[in-house]
C-alpha cells in the first residue's frame, strides 16, 4: 500500500517552474529519502503535500484516496506531520504551549493543562525525549528544540512524517541518537519522508530514494541498489564544478599573527557565553571553528568585530577592519532592496557622492568578475537566487581587500555549484596571504578547508587540531572524535 | 540588457502614475459623495474652488504660499522616514524652532539682514534638532518607539511655548511675539510681479524648492543618503556593512527635525513678522501625508505639497458653501486611498517595494 | 502638606480609579491588537470617534444605551477597516494608524460643523447614569457604580484569563509571536489578527464613551493624547494585563494630582501642570529598567 502518491505535480512561481510533472510513490512504513540540490524543488513538493502550497496541476493520493488540502490543518487531519528545516517554534512560549497550539485540549475554550500535561509526558516517556514541558523554547538547546518538533508530530498522531534536513543542525553524536528515534518510528509503523544532503545518511537509512533536479524527478532506486557515487552524479547532473585550487605552503616566517585573542570571557544575562577563549589567526591559514550552533560562535564574531565590548581579556588585531561574510545573509549580509553595486559601494570607505554610473559599473564589474548572475545591473540583490546573493556578498568582502576575513556559514543554503565556487575563492584568498577564520557547523566543509581546526562547546574552545593532526589516513576516527567534542565529550 | 532595464523602469513609472491618479480619482469621488450626503451640490463648490485657486494671481500665490511649509516640513520628514524613523513630532519640533527664531530675531537689529537671518536659521535649526535628539536618544538607549515619545513631546513643547509666551514674551494681550526688525523681512513675490498682488508668497518658496533639490541629492546620490536608507531597510545588516545604525538614527532624527524649523522662516520673515501661537495649523501632521503621498521623494514632495496647498486655500475659498473642515476629511481620505491603492496596484504589477 | 492631605482622601482615590479607566481600556485595546502582532496607534482616533459618535447619538436619540451600542458598532466598522489595511493589504501599521488618526480627527471636526454648527464643542447631554444599587455600597460603591469603571476593573481578570488560559488567547499570542509557526499548525493567522483588532476597537470605544459621558459633551481635542498615553501604559506594563493596570494607575494618579493642584491653586503655572501627564509618560518610559520586549512579530505584516 502506498502512503503517498504524487501524480504529475506541477508548481510554478511566476516564470519559474519549481516542480515539473513530478510523479512517484512512497510506500507505507518505509523511510523514503528525497534528494536534490537547493532549489531542486524538494521543499516545495513537501509544502504542497502538507497543504502550505497548492499545486498548479496534478493530484496527490494519501493511502489511495485523492486529497485536496486547503491548509496544513487538512494535512494534519490526514495524520501528516512536517518537521521543518527552520524550526517553527515560538521562542517566548513554553514547550507545552508550542506543542498543543492549534490542537488544544480544552473545555469550553479553557485550556485543560492537566490533560495536556498527562498526554505530553506520556509521549515524552514513550520515546525517551527527555523534555520538561514547562521550559521556554528560548531556554533550551537546538537538539532539544528538534525534539519539541518531534513531540508536536507525535502529539498529533502523525503517521506520515516529513523530515526536512533534520540532521543539518545536529552534531554527529546527536545524529546517531536521532536515527534511533527514526528506527523507533518505523517500528511503530510510521512512514517517513526524509530530505537530506548527506549521502552517507541515505545509505544508512533509506528504503527507497528519489532524486529531484531542476524540479523534475530524475532518478529512483531502492535500498539494494544504492550507489553513493551514482546518487551524487544524479543530484548535480552534467555541470562543471569549479575546482578547488591546491593549498600552497609558504615558509613559516610569513605566518604572522593577524588576530590574537587572550583569555576572552564574555558574560551575557549571567551566562558565560564566551569562556576563557584564547586563539589566533595567522596569514596563509584558514582557522576553522566547528561546533553546534549557539555555542558562542556569534558572540565570538561580535567580539572580533567590536560590536561587543563588555568582555574581559584582550583582543589584539593588526588591522582595524575585518571582513565578514555573516551567517544569515537576509538578516545581516545585505540590503536586499539595493542593487549589487549599491551594496558594494555602501561598504567602501569612500565618502561623498554615488552616481548611477558608479553603481551600474560596479554591478557589472562584480557580475563579470565573480560570475554573479543577475537579470541586469539594476536588479535588487534580494531578487537573485541564494547562491548568487552569497557570491555577491563574498565578492564585496574580497573587494574590501582586508587582510583578515571571517567566513561564517559561508555556504549555507547555496547550491553545489556556488558552494564549489565559494570554497575555491576561500582557498585562493588563503594562498594569497589572507588570515581566515572559518566558522561552520558543516564538518565536511571544515575538514576540506581548514589548516587548523578548533572545536567550540558552550563558549569554550575545547580542542585545537593542528595541520598535521588533520591530515590523517583515518578520517572516520577523526570525525568521530570531533563529533564527540562538539557535544562536550572529551 | 538595457532593453530590460528600460522596461522595468517604465512599469514602475506606469504603476506610479496609475496609482496616483486612481487615488486622486477615488478621493474626488468620495468627496463628491460626502458633499451630496450633506445635501449640497458639489459642482458649484468645485467651480468656485477652481476659479478662486487657479484663475487669479492671488489664488496661485496663496496656494504656493501654503505649500511652502509643507515642502519644508515634508523634506525634513522624508529624511526621518527613509531611516524608518516615524517622527510624528514635527509639529512640536517646528514650533520650538520657529518660536526661538522669532525671539532671536528681536535681538539682532544691529546686524545686516543677511547675517541676522543666517544666525536665526542656525539657532532655530539647532533648537528643533535638539527636540529631535531627545526621542532619538530614548529610541537608541531604551528602544522605546519614537512614535509615542514624539507625540508626547508635541504636547510638552506646545505647553512650554504657551507658558513662555504668556508669562514673558508675548506682545500685550496677544498670543504672538513682538515684531522683528523690518530689515529682516524677506522679499515678497508681489513686490516683483504685480501678478501675485496681495498674496503672501515670498522668497521662502524658492528656498523650499532648493531644499527639496538638495534633499533629493543627499538622500539618493550620496553615501550618507545610502546609509540612511540602508539603516531604514535593515539596521542589523547595516551594522555588518560597517554603518552604525545608532549614529545614523541620531543624525537623521536631528537633521529631519532641524529642517522643520525653516517653516518659521516662511511665516515670520516672509509673512507676519512675528511668531504666533498656533501659526503652524498642524503643518507637522499634514506634512506626514505630503511625504507619504510622494513616497518620501523630495521632488515628489514639491507636487504633493502643492496639491495640499490647493486643498487648503480652496477650502477657505468655499467656506461659505461647505465648512472648510471638509479639507481635513479629504486629507485623511487621500492618505488612506494612496496607501491602499498603491498596495493594490503594486500587487497587480507584481512590484515589491 | 495641604496637597499630601488631599491625596490621602477617599475622594482622591476614587478619582484615581475613575481616571484610570480610559487609560486602562485604551491600553488593553492596544494590547489585544499587539498581542496579535498589529501595532495600533489608531487607538487615539478610535477614542475620538467613539466619544464623538456617542455624544452625537445621545443628543439625537436621547437614548443612552442605544447610543453606547451605536458608538461601539461604528468603532467596530472602523476597526474592521483598520484590519483591512494592516492585515489584508499589509500596509505599514504606523503609517495606517497616523492616517486613521488624521482622518478621524478631520471627520469629527467636519461633522461637528455640519450637525452642531460649532468647531469646538457639542451641546450637553445626560451621559451614562451610575448603578444606584451598587452606589449604596460604602466606600467602593462610589467607584464601582460607574458601569464602565466596573467593567475596566473586571477586565483585568478577563484579559489575563483570555490571553493566558484559553485556546483563543494561546492562538492570538502565537500569531503575534511567530505567525509562520502558527500557520504551520493550521491556525488562520489573518482571522486571529482581525479578532485582536476588533477587540481593540471595542475596548477603545468604551474608553471614548466614558470620557464623553463624564464630560457630558464632546469637545474638539478632549481625548488630548490619552490614546497615546495608553500605548505608553501598555509598553510600561510590558504587554501584561495586570502590569498594564498598574501603569494606568500611575498615569491616573498624576492626572488626579494635576487636577488637585489646579483646584487648590498653586504658584506653579497652569501650562506646566497641563504638560505633566506627557512629561511623566516620557520620564516613566525612560526610567524603565531594561529594554522593553514587544511580541516578536509585532508590527510585521504577514
Provide Rg for chain B, Cα atoms: 21
- The distance of A226 to chain C (nearest Cα, Å) reads 33
Mean pLDDT of chain B: 90
CB within 8 Å: C296 and A111: no
Which residues 218-277 of chain C have a CB within 8 Å of chain B?
A: 224-225, 228-229, 231-232, 235, 269, 271-272, 274-275
Among A482-486, B13-17, B24-28, where is mean pLDDT lowest? B13-17
d(CA A443, CA A62): 37
Q: How many Cβ pairs closer than 8 A exist between chain A and B?
A: 67
Per DSSP, the three-state class of C237 is coil
**Residue A25: pLDDT band with limits 50, 70, 90:** very high
Is residue A79 within 8 A of residue A111, CB to CB? The reply is no
Q: Which residues of A touch C181 (CB under 8 A)?
A: 88-90, 98, 101
pLDDT digits (tens, 9 = 90+) for C187-197: 999 999 999 99
The gap between the terminal CA atoms of chain C, to the nearest Å, is 55
pLDDT digits (tens, 9 = 90+) for C119-170: 888 989 988 888 888 888 877 777 888 899 999 999 999 999 999 999 999 9
CB within 8 Å: C296 and A152: no
**Residue A27: pLDDT band with limits 50, 70, 90:** very high
- The distance of A399 to chain B (nearest Cα, Å) reads 13
pLDDT digits (tens, 9 = 90+) for C3-22: 666 667 888 888 899 999 99
* For residue B4, pLDDT beyond 60: no
CB within 8 Å: C173 and A93: yes
pLDDT digits (tens, 9 = 90+) for B36-95: 998 889 989 999 988 988 988 999 999 999 999 999 999 999 999 999 999 999 999 999
- The distance of A298 to chain B (nearest Cα, Å) reads 12
Return the pLDDT at B353.
45
CB within 8 Å: B138 and C281: no
Return the pLDDT at A190.
93
The gap between the terminal CA atoms of chain B, to the nearest Å, is 22
Question: Per the structure block, which three cell numbers stand in for C1?
Answer: 502638606
**Residue B5: pLDDT band with limits 50, 70, 90:** very low
Q: Which residues of C touch B308 (CB under 8 A)?
A: none
The residue among B331, B333, B353 whose CA lies nearest residue B343 is B353
Measured from the Cβ of residue B126, the count of other Cβ atoms closer than 10 Å reads 15
pLDDT digits (tens, 9 = 90+) for B195-226: 888 889 999 999 999 999 999 999 999 999 99
pLDDT digits (tens, 9 = 90+) for A238-297: 766 677 788 877 666 666 778 899 999 999 888 889 999 998 888 889 999 998 888 899
Mean pLDDT (whole number) for C246-252: 92
Neighbouring chains of C at 3+ CB pairs within 8 Å? A, B
Closest Cβ–Cβ partner in C113, C235, C269 for B144: C235
Return the pLDDT at B2.
38
* For residue C226, pLDDT beyond 60: yes
Angle between helices B298-317 and B283-293 (to 10 degrees): 130
Return the pLDDT at A199.
83
Mean pLDDT (whole number) for A143-151: 92
d(CA C183, CA A52): 9
CA distances in angstroms from C270 to A209, B345, C16, listed in the order given: 80, 51, 20
Closest Cβ–Cβ partner in C105, C228, C275 for B156: C275
Q: Which residues of A touch B224 (CB under 8 A)?
A: 351
Per DSSP, the three-state class of B216 is helix
Those residues of chain A whose CB sits closer than 8 Å to some CB in chain C are: 52, 71-74, 76, 82, 84, 88-93, 97-98, 100-104, 106, 109-111, 152
Among B331-335, C51-55, C231-235, C268-272, where is mean pLDDT lowest? C268-272
- Report the residue of B131, B155, B321 to disrupt the C interface, i.e. the one with the largest count of C CBs within 10 Å: B155
Interface check for B6 against chain A (CB to CB < 8 A): the answer is no
The residue among B24, B41, B23 whose CA lies nearest residue B32 is B41
pLDDT digits (tens, 9 = 90+) for B290-329: 998 888 999 999 999 999 999 988 888 888 888 888 998 9
Percent of chain C with pLDDT over 90: 64
CB within 8 Å: B240 and A324: yes
Provide Rg for chain A, Cα atoms: 24
Return the pLDDT at A14.
75
Return the pLDDT at B3.
39
Question: Per the structure block, which three cell numbers stand in for B231?
Answer: 539603516
Pairing of strands A2-13, A57-62: antiparallel
pLDDT digits (tens, 9 = 90+) for A54-113: 999 999 999 999 999 988 888 988 999 999 888 899 999 999 999 999 889 998 899 999
Per DSSP, the three-state class of C38 is coil
pLDDT digits (tens, 9 = 90+) for A398-444: 998 888 999 999 988 787 778 888 999 999 999 988 999 999 988 88
- For residue C176, the chain A residue with the least C-alpha distance is A90
Question: Per the structure block, which three cell numbers stand in for A206?
Answer: 533509506
Interface check for B222 against chain A (CB to CB < 8 A): the answer is yes
* For residue B352, pLDDT beyond 60: no
pLDDT digits (tens, 9 = 90+) for B259-277: 999 999 999 999 999 999 9
Closest Cβ–Cβ partner in A52, A90, A100 for C178: A90
- Report the residue of C233, C278, C298, C299 to disrupt the B interface, i.e. the one with the largest count of B CBs within 10 Å: C278
Return the pLDDT at A253.
62
* For residue C275, pLDDT beyond 90: no
Return the pLDDT at C289.
60
**Helical residues (DSSP H) of C145-299, grouped into ranges:** 147-165, 167-177, 179-184, 189-215, 226-236, 241-264, 270-274, 276-287
pTM for this entry? 0.89
Please report where in the chains the cell 524608518 appears, as a residue.
B84
- The distance of A43 to chain C (nearest Cα, Å) reads 14
Return the pLDDT at A251.
65
d(CA B273, CA A227): 89
Among A351-360, B247-256, C79-88, where is mean pLDDT lowest? A351-360
Mean pLDDT (whole number) for C177-181: 94
d(CA A180, CA A199): 18
CA distances in angstroms from A465 to A447, A470, A481, C176, listed in the order given: 11, 6, 11, 45
- The distance of B89 to chain A (nearest Cα, Å) reads 28
**Helical residues (DSSP H) of A416-487, grouped into ranges:** 416-431, 443-449, 467-470, 475-486
Return the pLDDT at C291.
67
pLDDT greater at residue C289 or residue A237: A237
Amino acid at each position: 500500500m502506498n502512503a503517498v502518491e504524487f501524480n504529475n505535480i506541477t508548481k510554478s512561481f511566476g516564470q519559474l517552474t519549481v516542480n515539473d510533472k513530478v510523479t512517484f510513490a512512497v510506500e507505507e512504513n518505509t523511510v523514503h529519502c528525497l534528494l536534490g540540490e537547493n532549489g531542486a524543488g524538494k521543499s516545495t513538493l513537501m509544502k504542497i503535500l502538507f497543504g502550505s502550497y497548492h499545486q498548479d496541476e496534478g493530484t496527490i493520493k494519501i493511502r489511495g484516496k485523492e486529497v485536496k488540502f486547503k491548509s496544513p490543518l487538512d494535512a494534519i487531519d490526514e495524520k501528516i506531520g512536517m518537521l521543518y528545516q527552520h524550526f517553527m517554534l515560538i521562542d517566548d512560549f513554553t514547550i507545552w504551549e508550542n506543542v498543543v497550539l492549534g490542537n488544544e485540549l480544552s473545555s469550553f475554550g479553557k485550556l485543560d493543562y492537566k490533560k495536556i500535561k498527562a498526554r505530553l509526558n506520556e509521549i515524552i516517556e514513550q520515546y525517551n525525549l527527555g523534555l520538561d514541558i514547562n521550559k521556554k523554547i528560548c531556554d533550551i538547546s537546538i537538539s532539544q528544540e528538534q525534539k519539541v518538533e518531534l513531540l508536536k508530530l507525535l502529539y498529533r498522531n502523525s503517521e506520515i512524517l516529513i523530515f526536512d534536513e533534520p540532521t543539518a543542525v545536529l552534531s554527529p553524536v546527536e545524529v546517531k541518537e536521532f536515527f534511533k528515534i527514526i528506527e523507533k518510528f518505523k517500528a511503530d509503523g510510521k512512514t517517513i519522508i526524509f530530505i537530506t544532503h548527506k549521502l552517507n545518511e541515505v545509505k544508512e537509512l533509506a528504503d527507497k530514494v528519489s532524486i529531484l533536479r531542476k524540479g523534475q524527478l530524475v532518478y529512483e532506486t531502492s535500498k539494494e541498489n544504492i550507489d553513493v557515487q551514482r546518487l551524487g552524479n544524479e543530484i548535480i547532473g552534467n555541470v562543471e564544478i569549479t575546482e578547488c585550487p591546491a593549498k600552497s605552503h609558504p615558509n613559516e616566517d610569513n605566518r604572522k599573527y593577524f588576530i590574537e585573542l587572550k583569555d576572552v570571557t564574555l558574560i551575557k544575562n549571567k551566562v558565560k557565553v564566551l569562556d576563557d577563549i584564547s586563539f589566533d589567526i595567522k596569514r596563509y591559514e584558514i582557522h576553522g571553528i566547528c561546533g553546534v550552533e549557539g555555542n558562542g560562535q556569534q558572540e565570538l564574531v561580535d567580539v572580533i568585530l567590536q560590536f561587543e565590548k563588555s568582555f574581559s581579556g584582550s583582543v589584539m588585531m593588526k588591522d582595524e577592519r575585518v571582513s565578514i561574510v555573516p551567517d544569515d545573509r537576509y538578516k545581516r549580509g545585505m540590503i536586499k532592496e539595493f542593487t549589487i553595486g549599491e551594496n558594494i559601494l555602501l561598504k567602501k570607505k569612500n565618502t561623498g557622492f554615488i552616481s548611477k554610473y558608479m553603481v551600474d559599473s560596479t554591478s557589472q564589474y562584480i557580475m563579470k568578475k565573480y560570475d554573479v548572475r543577475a537579470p541586469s545591473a539594476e536588479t535588487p540583490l534580494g531578487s537573485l537566487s541564494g547562491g548568487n546573493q552569497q557570491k555577491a556578498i563574498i565578492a564585496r568582502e574580497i573587494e574590501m581587500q582586508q587582510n583578515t576575513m571571517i567566513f561564517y556559514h559561508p555556504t549555507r543554503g547555496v547550491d553545489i555549484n556556488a558552494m564549489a565556487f565559494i570554497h575555491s575563492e576561500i582557498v585562493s584568498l588563503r594562498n594569497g596571504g589572507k588570515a581566515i577564520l572559518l566558522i561552520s557547523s558543516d564538518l565536511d566543509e571544515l575538514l576540506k578547508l581548514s589548516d587548523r581546526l578548533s572545536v567550540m562547546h558552550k563558549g569554550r574552545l575545547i580542542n585545537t587540531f593542528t595541520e598535521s593532526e588533520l591530515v590523517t589516513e583515518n578520517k572516520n576516527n577523526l570525525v568521530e572524535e570531533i563529533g564527540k567534542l562538539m557535544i562536550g565529550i572529551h | 540588457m538595457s532593453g530590460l532595464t528600460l522596461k522595468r523602469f517604465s512599469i514602475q513609472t506606469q504603476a506610479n502614475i496609475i496609482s496616483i491618479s486612481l487615488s486622486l480619482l477615488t478621493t474626488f469621488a468620495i468627496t463628491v459623495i460626502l458633499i451630496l450626503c450633506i445635501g449640497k451640490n458639489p459642482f458649484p463648490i468645485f467651480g468656485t474652488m477652481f476659479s478662486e485657486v487657479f484663475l487669479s494671481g492671488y489664488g496661485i500665490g496663496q496656494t504656493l504660499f501654503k505649500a511652502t511649509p509643507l515642502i519644508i516640513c515634508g523634506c525634513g520628514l522624508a529624511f526621518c522616514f527613509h531611516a524608518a524613523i516615524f517622527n510624528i513630532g514635527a509639529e512640536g519640533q517646528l514650533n520650538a524652532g520657529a518660536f526661538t527664531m522669532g525671539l532671536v530675531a528681536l535681538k539682532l537689529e544691529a546686524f545686516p539682514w543677511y547675517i541676522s537671518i543666517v544666525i536665526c536659521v542656525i539657532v532655530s535649526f539647532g533648537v528643533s534638532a535638539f527636540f529631535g535628539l531627545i526621542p532619538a536618544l530614548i529610541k537608541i538607549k531604551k528602544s522605546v518607539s519614537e512614535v509615542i515619545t514624539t507625540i508626547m513631546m508635541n504636547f510638552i513643547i506646545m505647553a512650554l511655548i504657551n507658558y513662555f509666551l504668556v508669562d514673558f514674551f508675548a506682545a500685550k494681550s496677544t498670543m504672538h511675539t513682538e515684531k522683528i526688525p523690518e530689515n529682516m523681512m524677506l522679499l515678497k513675490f508681489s513686490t516683483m510681479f504685480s501678478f501675485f498682488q496681495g498674496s503672501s508668497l515670498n522668497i521662502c518658496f524658492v528656498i523650499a524648492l532648493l531644499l527639496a533639490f538638495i534633499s533629493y541629492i543627499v538622500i539618493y546620490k550620496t553615501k550618507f543618503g545610502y546609509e540612511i536608507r540602508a539603516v531604514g531597510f535593515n539596521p542589523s545588516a547595516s551594522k555588518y556593512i560597517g554603518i552604525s545604525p545608532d549614529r545614523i538614527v541620531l543624525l537623521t532624527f536631528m537633521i529631519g527635525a532641524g529642517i522643520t524649523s525653516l517653516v518659521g522662516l516662511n511665516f515670520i520673515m516672509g509673512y507676519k513678522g512675528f511668531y504666533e501661537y498656533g501659526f503652524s495649523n498642524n503643518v507637522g501632521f499634514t506634512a506626514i501625508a505630503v511625504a507619504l503621498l510622494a513616497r518620501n521623494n523630495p521632488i515628489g514632495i514639491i507636487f504633493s505639497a502643492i496639491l495640499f496647498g490647493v486643498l487648503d486655500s480652496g477650502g477657505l475659498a468655499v467656506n461659505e458653501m461647505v465648512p472648510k473642515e471638509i479639507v481635513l476629511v479629504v486629507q485623511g481620505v487621500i492618505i488612506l486611498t494612496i496607501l491602499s491603492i498603491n498596495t493594490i496596484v503594486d500587487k497587480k504589477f507584481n512590484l515589491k517595494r | 502638606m495641604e496637597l499630601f492631605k488631599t491625596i490621602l482622601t477617599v475622594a482622591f482615590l476614587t478619582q484615581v480609579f475613575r481616571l484610570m479607566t480610559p487609560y486602562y481600556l485604551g491600553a488593553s485595546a492596544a494590547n489585544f491588537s499587539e498581542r496579535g502582532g498589529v501595532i495600533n496607534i489608531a487607538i487615539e482616533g478610535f477614542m475620538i470617534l467613539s466619544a464623538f459618535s456617542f455624544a452625537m447619538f445621545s443628543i439625537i436619540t436621547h437614548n443612552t444605551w442605544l447610543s453606547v451600542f451605536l458608538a461601539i458598532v461604528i468603532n467596530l466598522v472602523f476597526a474592521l477597516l483598520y484590519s483591512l489595511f494592516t492585515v489584508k493589504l499589509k500596509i505599514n501599521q504606523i503609517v495606517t494608524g497616523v492616517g486613521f488618526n488624521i482622518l478621524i480627527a478631520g471627520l469629527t471636526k467636519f461633522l461637528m460643523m455640519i450637525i452642531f454648527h460649532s468647531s469646538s464643542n457639542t451641546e450637553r447631554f445626560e451621559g451614562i447614569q451610575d448603578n444606584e444599587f451598587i452606589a449604596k455600597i460604602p466606600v467602593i460603591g462610589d467607584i464601582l457604580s460607574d458601569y464602565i469603571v466596573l467593567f475596566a476593573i473586571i477586565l483585568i481578570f478577563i484579559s489575563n484569563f483570555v490571553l493566558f488560559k484559553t485556546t483563543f488567547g494561546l492562538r492570538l499570542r502565537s500569531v503575534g509571536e511567530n505567525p509562520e509557526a502558527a500557520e504551520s499548525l493550521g491556525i488562520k493567522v489573518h482571522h486571529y489578527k482581525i479578532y485582536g483588532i476588533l477587540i481593540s476597537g471595542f475596548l477603545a470605544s468604551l474608553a471614548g464613551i466614558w470620557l464623553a459621558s463624564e464630560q457630558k459633551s464632546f469637545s474638539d481635542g478632549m481625548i488630548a493624547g490619552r490614546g497615546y498615553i495608553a500605548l505608553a501604559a501598555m509598553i510600561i506594563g510590558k504587554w501584561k494585563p495586570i502590569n498594564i493596570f498598574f501603569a494606568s494607575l500611575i498615569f491616573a494618579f498624576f492626572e488626579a494630582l494635576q487636577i488637585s493642584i489646579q483646584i487648590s491653586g498653586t504658584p506653579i503655572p497652569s501650562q506646566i501642570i497641563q504638560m505633566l501627564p506627557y512629561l511623566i509618560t516620557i520620564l516613566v518610559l525612560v526610567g524603565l529598567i531594561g529594554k522593553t520586549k514587544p511580541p516578536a512579530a509585532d508590527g510585521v505584516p504577514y
